[in-house]
Structure 1
Amino acid sequence: MKRLLLIGVAAATLFSASLPAFAADKLLNASYDIARELFVQVNEAFVAKHPGVSIDQSHGGSSKQARAILEGLEADVVTFNQVTDIDALVKGGFVSDDWKSEFPNNASPYYSLPAFLVHAGNPKGIKDWDDLVRDDVKVIFPNPKTSGNARYTYLAATAYAKEAFANDDAKVREFIGKLFANVPVFDTGGRAATTTFVEREIGDVLITFEAETRGIAREFGEDKFDIVVPSVSLLAEFPVAIVDKVVDKRGSRDLARTYLDFLYTPEGQKILAENGNRPNDASVAAEFKDQFPAVRLVKVEDVFGGWDKIQEEHFKAGATLDQLYGSR
């Protein structure tokens, strides 16, 4: 009996030694609006590997989340949907300026793109961006002033118009103006826009991340909606970062890093893919290739010159977005 007891103690000691020792046992992940279900699954898988650890979540429009952290929300990590919101935390002294080099793929573990969700049978025959500016089409997507999701929609539509009109700025602005005019209501975040389209039954087409279109179809019935991937869309990366100012205060840096590292593991990548996100891991991408139709993706850097230039020309107060949005 004594020998069995000693073996049990030794096994427990060995098991404990195999687990990383964290100074903190809890994290808060501040994430974008439509990632709730995704991170429920991610967190369950992560906690299963690290017993005794707990992960809390906060969700909202990506830009709104960044402002909340600047105003006192003590998030240990952020899993956002646009670079500019992490850059805002850099400027506020919350995140290090070399955050892109701390994790692979410029700290983006997965990617997606703006896609369309239409009613079953696609009654309005919506196939591409130019269909969204027709007089008979009502478009739903959130407010690009508060939602990273919507900013990608704005940028993707602008990229399409730049190609269609050979960079004629006046025609591009007219195109985006028509698109904005076809939006009956601008919700603050992606999930609220989904509610407007799916539950309130407003609009002919919802523009959101491809992952969200798949999630909606699964939840509400694949017989009720069709997913339309346009001819061209914008590569939407999903950057992650450790909030240095918070983890240094709470002693949670090691746990924060291990948590974000998990997103890059084959298990983490598979969870991302199962939720409609396009994984970066080649083996996982091959496993799920039949779920993701081919699409020509353009990059922010190639079309707009990078996020700094976008911020200056499109998103800062009084810039192009304000001018177009204010004139709707």
Structure 2
Amino acid sequence: VSADWQKYFPDNASPFYSLPSFLVRAGNPKHIKDWNDLVRDDVQVIFPNPKTSGNARYTYLAATAYAKEAFKGDDAKVKEFITKLFNNVPIFDTGGRAATTTFVQREIGDVLITFESETRGIRKEYGDDKFEQVTPSVSLLAEFPVAIVDKVADEHGTRDLAKTYLDFLYTPEGQDILAQNGTRVRDAAVEAKYKAQFPDVRLLTVEDVFGGWDKVQKEHFAAGGLLDQTYGSR
């Protein structure tokens, strides 16, 4: 794709978005409401290994962003918070699907952290009466960008078709379909239509909290970075 691919479509070429959210068992027996509940001694948390899962990296960053605010930027307390969170995870699966299986089918853990859109799919597949979705007070914006792969589109003569499809995702009809399938959308009218489905949440961004993805990669995900320091030898 071209270097300025995000400029080809509105909203950073992301017609829909989601956020790390919580899925708890029916009745929310552990009364889990926010990130601080996840570090309690009586709570077991399920999410994938942030070393192998992009989904889990958003979870890690969202929890870190929460801790940065809660502890007013005290790095030592932030690291302690994240270490406690990791210590409450009994199994680190390699990906989101395996983590869902651990929580839903193996019935391990009190709360699953995954994208909000995924929690809706899980409830639809396994039963609304078995699980509840909990939206934390603050989370991290997770965008799902789209792009035309120039080389492929030009080789196959599908550029116009690809653009027509991606443009459709921004139309009211396309946005409505996306919202029906559990993702938050950009269109204000469609957003209002499904307001009851998407609780209010204060969304932070990687750019605002961490200075962008390049900086995150160097400071958190590189060998010996902050993730390694809190994740340890698990």
Does TM-score exceed 0.5, indicating one fold? Answer: yes
CA distance in 1, matches of 2:225, 2:169: 35
**1:259, CA displacement in angstroms?**
2.4
**1:300, CA displacement in angstroms?**
1.7
Q: Which residue of 2 aligns with 1:37?
A: none
**1:154, CA displacement in angstroms?**
0.6
**1:260, CA displacement in angstroms?**
2.0
- 1:289 lines up with 2:189 in the alignment: no
- Residue segments in structure 1 that go unaligned for 5+ positions in a row: 1-94
Helix, strand or coil at the partner of 2:118: helix
CA distance in 1, matches of 2:188, 2:135: 22
CA distance in 1, matches of 2:162, 2:92: 34
**1:245, CA displacement in angstroms?**
3.7
Q: Which residue of 2 aligns with 1:142?
A: 48
**1:215, CA displacement in angstroms?**
1.6
CA distance in 2, matches of 1:240, 1:279: 14
Q: 1:202 aligns with which of 104, 108, 132?
A: 108
- 1:122 lines up with 2:28 in the alignment: yes
Larger radius of gyration: 1
Q: Which residue of 1 aligns with 2:59?
A: 153
Q: Which residue of 1 aligns with 2:84?
A: 178
Q: 1:275 aligns with which of 174, 178, 181?
A: 181
Q: 1:262 aligns with which of 147, 153, 168?
A: 168
The TM-score normalised by the length of structure 1 is: 0.68
Task: Kindly provide the amino acid, as one letter, of the partner of residue 132 in structure 2.
Answer: D
**1:255, CA displacement in angstroms?**
2.6
Percent identity of the aligned residues?
A: 79
CA distance in 2, matches of 1:278, 1:196: 26
- Residue segments in structure 2 that go unaligned for 5+ positions in a row: none
Q: Which residue of 2 aligns with 1:224?
A: 130
CA distance in 2, matches of 1:196, 1:217: 15
Greater mean deviation of Cα atoms: 183-192 or 106-115: 183-192
The TM-score normalised by the length of structure 2 is: 0.93
Residues 255-284 of structure 1: CA deviation (Å, up to 9, x unaligned): 322222222122211111011111101111
Greater mean deviation of Cα atoms: 135-144 or 114-123: 135-144
Distance 1:207 1:260, change over 3 A: same
**1:98, CA displacement in angstroms?**
0.7
Task: Kindly provide the amino acid, as one letter, of the partner of residue 83 in structure 2.
Answer: G
| Count of aligned positions | 234
Larger RCO (CA under 8 A, 6+ residues apart): 2
